[in-house]
Amino acid sequence: MTASLPNAVVTATAVAAVSIRGVRKLFGSGENAVHAVDGVDLDIADGEFFCLLGPSGSGKTTLLRMIAGFELPTDGTILLQGADVTRLPPFDRDVNTVFQDYALFPHMSVADNVGYGLKVKKAPKAERVRRVGEALETVQLGAYGSRKPSQLSGGQRQRIALARALINRPKVLLLDEPLGALDLKLRQQMQVELKAIQTQVGITFIFVTHDQEEALTMSDRIAVFNRGRVEQVGTPADVYERPSTSFVAGFVGTSNLLEGSVASSLLGVEGTFTIRPEKIRVLGTTETTEGSETQGGHDVHAPGMVQHVEYLGPYTRLRVALDAGAVLQVMVQNTGDGVARGPGERVVLAFERRHIFDIQ
Amino acid sequence: MLKPLARWFHRRPLAGLVGLLGAPMAWLVVVYLGSLAALLVSSLYSLDSFTFNVVKHVGLQNYRELWQRPVYARVAMRTLGVAAAVTLVDLVLALPIAFYMAKVATPRVRRALGVALILPLWASYLAKAYAWRTFLDPAGGLLRKTLGWSPGFGLSGVVIVLAYLWLPYAILPIYAGLERLPDSLLEASADLGGRAGVTLRAVVFPILLPAVVAATIFTFSLSLGDYITVGIVGGKTQMIGNVISANFGVNNVPLAAAFAVVPMIIMVIYLVGIRRTGALENL
């Protein structure tokens, strides 16, 4: 795991940027109490781009807010580079936050927004002006210092929020679904840019998102959250290729579940297994024998009927009802030389045992 | 059945506009602006000192009298002072209460406080003023009995009671302003190193300024025009409102009208002054 994570290797012996020990957060009291975060342990290495991924209400944002100091944990400890900050107020922690709604001060110019942290810390004016200029250059908005936030587009506000947080050179930058409000194109562009900025400044980023694609593209490591707990921590490839629970398999990407009688009739074993839609090949009924010979690895064959066909541009998504039961999703790349399938058509699904994962 | 009518209006947008705004515009022009004009005109008339009848002899004699007799200037300054003091007291009380309601209290407490604020507005103004009279009474009032001290009837009594009466009008706009202030702005300020004092000064207050100004316009203008409270708890204190009322009592409508113009001028100066500061730009 660490082999694909150069940053972690370098700092393996150093103190973690953020250590979370047995953190719990209870909202409300008595019978109405809700465990927003229910016993989380995490170590985030220095310089790492770390994603907290999970559906809404899974506790990822609450954990981020506890690291920032906006919420106090009910139990547990939060260490920032080895120092206990669990009970410190936000202004005494060397972390900064990029808020979901950007939280730019509407009555201040862009430059005053970016320079706010320096002004509060009473940095000399000349230094403030210089660093605000640099920070605005970093996010490519050098000419916008005198504007008001209301005169900027969503993407520009996002960059200003980033510049405002980064100018203080925090040890850790917390990002709370910062790209959620942007449209798809801009979001993808900002993903690349964020990653580049992170590499450039070398600050640990903790990034909260519910978008699994975003988490996979940007992170060094991902912690997948469900109901206040961490289900799996690992590199994007770990989490995607080797999901450790059925929740992770279902939440990160799409997975087909094989369970009960379907599992035993196809695989010959009881249990619950997953397979990714892109790992399945679709063959015609006549190809079955021939196909399995040429594609030696395909050791599982499951006949069935196409139920539904969705054309997605680069891919076509099929839903195939297996004779053994279960409906599987299959992704077929539109290479141009494949056979177009239609609803009602008989097919055989072929896949390899090594792509099937046993989950509890 | 109404469809043909709807179609007729659809084809004639102007008729629709007249139908919508006709009655309120007529009310605004005839009743509201009309009575204002009548006030201004009658302030230019004069009173026959023998017959005590109003004489339609147009001139600035009433304004001259207001200007030349120092008692009127004293009353005007006193009224201004009371209005300013009431506004100050209300702001000092309203800011923390509104902040608590908008940013600290749980939803249930917030609702309870909201009701507690609105409820007194349903009670009669007179009843509240007289209640305060029994409270303030220097001889055997509640304050005397419990604390052994009472400001009694006079200027400070007027300020206290007016501040009480207008407090909801100060809290509500400030509360509404704070409701619109996202929590994330406060968090962002703390996150960037700002303690409570810095956050209040640099973030909360500038954004809240229009709401605070709205609150002061209420407390200030309501205090400027009040005469009932002064009559009930003011003792011998005279404010612009009393003097106007007294002059109406002796049929000196022209002088009363002229004096009524004074608080209007004060309010105009106040509003123009506020506009100059730019506080209303973000409304």
ipTM: 0.80
Q: CB contact, 8 Å: B182 with chain A?
A: yes
Q: In 3-state terms, what secondary structure has residue B205? A: helix
Q: How far is A104 from chain B (nearest CA, A)?
A: 7
Higher pLDDT, A272 or A321: A321
Domain limits, chain A? 257-359
Gap between the Cα atoms of A60 and A72, Å rounded: 14
Report, as an integer, the average pLDDT of B182-211: 92
Closest C-alpha to B164, from B229, B103, B208, B255? B229
Out of B182, B192, B207, the one facing A120 most closely (by C-beta) is: B192
Phi, psi of B129, deg, nearest 5: -65, -40
Question: Please, what sign has the CA dihedral across residues B200, B206, B212, B216?
Answer: positive
Q: Which residues contact B213 (CB under 8 A, 6 or more apart)?
A: B274, B279, B280
pLDDT band, residue A287 (cuts 50/70/90): low
Q: What is the pLDDT of residue A360?
A: 60
Gap between the Cα atoms of A120 and A298, Å rounded: 64
pLDDT band, residue B281 (cuts 50/70/90): low
pLDDT band, residue A13 (cuts 50/70/90): low
Burial class (CB in 10 A: 0-12, 13-18, 19+), B148: exposed
| Tens-place pLDDT, residues B60-81 | 888 988 888 888 999 999 999 9
Closest C-alpha to A53, from A175, A186, A193? A175
A44: which strand partners?
Answer: A18
Rama region for A22: left / alpha / beta (φ>0; ψ in -120 to 50; rest):
left
Q: CB contact, 8 Å: A99 with chain B?
A: yes
| Tens-place pLDDT, residues B128-187 | 999 999 888 888 788 888 887 888 888 999 999 999 999 999 999 999 999 989 999 999
Gap between the Cα atoms of A315 and B215, Å rounded: 61
CA B1 vs. chain centroid, Å, equals 47
Query: Is there a contact between A68 and B207 if contact means CB atoms under 8 Å apart?
Result: no
Query: Is there a contact between B192 and A116 if contact means CB atoms under 8 Å apart?
Result: yes
- CATH code of A257-359, in short, is 2.40.50.140
**Residues A197, A212: contact at Cβ < 8 Å?**
no
Gap between the Cα atoms of A40 and A38, Å rounded: 6
Out of B191, B194, B202, the one facing A97 most closely (by C-beta) is: B191
Cβ contacts of B282 on chain A, cutoff 8 Å: 106-107
Furthest-apart CA pair in chain B: how many Å?
76
